[in-house]
Structure 1
Amino acid sequence: MKDFFSALVSQEKNRVIPEEFNYFGKLIGSWQIDYVESHHSRVIKGEWHFSWVLEGMAIQDVIILPDYEYGTSLRIYNPDTYAWDVAYGYTGKIIRLEARKQDDMIVLTYIDDETRKWIFTRIEDNQFHWQNITIKDDGDWYVNADIFAKRIL
């Protein structure tokens, strides 16, 4: 298995990716998270780990929400579209998204439903905020869930 991890994990971003498209670079590392769904008041404590992979051309993460969901995303920079192609998978489901920068946010839009988005915002060295939103017919955002993350590594 050591050969697998050595082949998968990269120590840094590939130089082919222009710095202005290094959207997710600040997320590399490990985070303690609080996951809050809008229709529940409970907070699920979990972890979210990010690493450069595939010779630094992609970022993979693992999200761990005990007794709720375990999943992984693969974010691959696409030099043809100047965006990131994203696949998120968890038991029984794979979701495809495209990530682009929008002001100070990274907006991941579902390929099959442009009204559904994931938003990374307020990405700092030691914390970030993530939201799962649905855009309503009137243009307002409905927040389905929030994640509040604090760096642990």
Structure 2
Amino acid sequence: MKYFIETLTSNSKSVEVSEEFNYFGKLIGSWEFDYTDHNISCSTKGEWHFSWVLEGMAIQDVIILPSRETKTEIPHPLTEYGTTLRVYNPATHVWDIAYCYTGKIIRLEARKQDNMIVLTNIDDNKKKWVFIKIEDNTFHWQNITVKDDGGWHINADLYAVRIQ
């Protein structure tokens, strides 16, 4: 297993990922967060861990809801354990993304819009994940659906704080 981790992870990004397109670099590390699903009026605490992988051309993460610290024997309605692989495409300057969790794979593309990073579902462009703000030690993420009038319905909010 040691060789797998050594060959998968990278200490830094590739030089091919210019700072202009290094959208996710500030996320490298570990975070704890508060997650609220507005559709079912439910909240939980979670954890999210990010690392450079594949010689620094990609970022992989693991998201855990509820966090391992707060998980109980009784299943929480917001239980999810998933991984995302964000691969930078130097030809298009777009991040190609696959999010995987039990029984599902969601494909997205990430682009900058104003000061936000918008991840759009390839199969349904009305479904988006948006990093509203990424700071050194905090970030705000939303799961949104674009309404017919172009407005956003916020399905969920996530507020994270760096722990490492």
Q: TM-score, length-normalised on structure 1?
A: 0.98
Determine the structure 1 residue equivalent to 2:140.
129
Determine the structure 2 residue equivalent to 1:56.
56
Letter paired with 1:141: W
Out of 141, 144, 149, the residue aligned to residue 152 of structure 2 is 141
Shift of 1:34: 0.8
Shift of 1:39: 2.1
Matches within 5 A, 1:1-153: 1-66=1-66, 67=76, 68-153=79-164
Instruction: Pick which of 35-44 and 71-80 moved more.
Output: 35-44
Shift of 1:138: 0.6
Aligned counterparts of 1:26 and 1:138: Cα–Cα separation in 2: 33
Letter paired with 1:113: D
SS at match of 1:17: coil
Letter paired with 1:34: D
Letter paired with 2:59: I
Aligned counterparts of 2:42 and 2:19: Cα–Cα separation in 1: 38
RMSD: 0.8
- Aligned residues between the structures: 153
Shift of 1:43: 1.7
Instruction: Pick which of 64-73 and 3-12 moved more.
Output: 64-73
Unaligned runs of 5+ in 2: 67-75
Deviation digits for residues 3-30 of structure 1, max 9, x if unmatched?
A: 0000000000000111100000000000
Aligned counterparts of 1:53 and 1:128: Cα–Cα separation in 2: 21
Unaligned runs of 5+ in 1: none
